[in-house]
Amino acid sequence: MRRPVVAPGSSRSPWKSLVLPSTVGSESLIVVRYAFDAGPDGPPLSLMDTITEEIRPIDDSGTSGGVGSSVAP
């Protein structure tokens, strides 16, 4: 779900919440939340989708099994 958030004294900042199933079982969920600056220096909203597309299970053959990654703007 992607929605704009308006804080007092600020511009409308987009945020997105994403819920994924966990590999440890159906009782556990993984929640990813994004919040982007809506100002002229903020990243494009399409970056939220780019980050989402790159999320993979830890046992995916394309990962090293480690945690964390960097996404270039």
Model pTM? 0.57
Distance CA 27, CA 32 (A): 17
Would you say residue 58 lies in a domain?
no
Residue 16, domain extent: 2-53
Please give the C-alpha separations between residue 71 and each of 1, 20, 24, 52, 65, in angstroms, as whole numbers.
21, 20, 26, 11, 17
Any domain includes 13: yes
pLDDT the model gives residue 66: 54
The pLDDT, as a whole number, for residue 41 is 80
In angstroms, the Cα distances linking 34 to 5, 42, 43 are 12, 13, 12
- Read off the amino acid at residue 18: L
Q: How many domains does the chain have?
A: 1
Residue 70 lies in a domain: no
Asked if residue 11 is part of any domain, the answer here is yes
Q: What is the mean pLDDT of each run of 10 residues along the chain (73 residues)?
A: 62 77 81 80 84 77 59 55
- For residue 39, is it within any domain? yes
End-to-end, the C-alpha distance of the chain in Å comes to 22
Residue 31 belongs to some domain of the structure:
yes
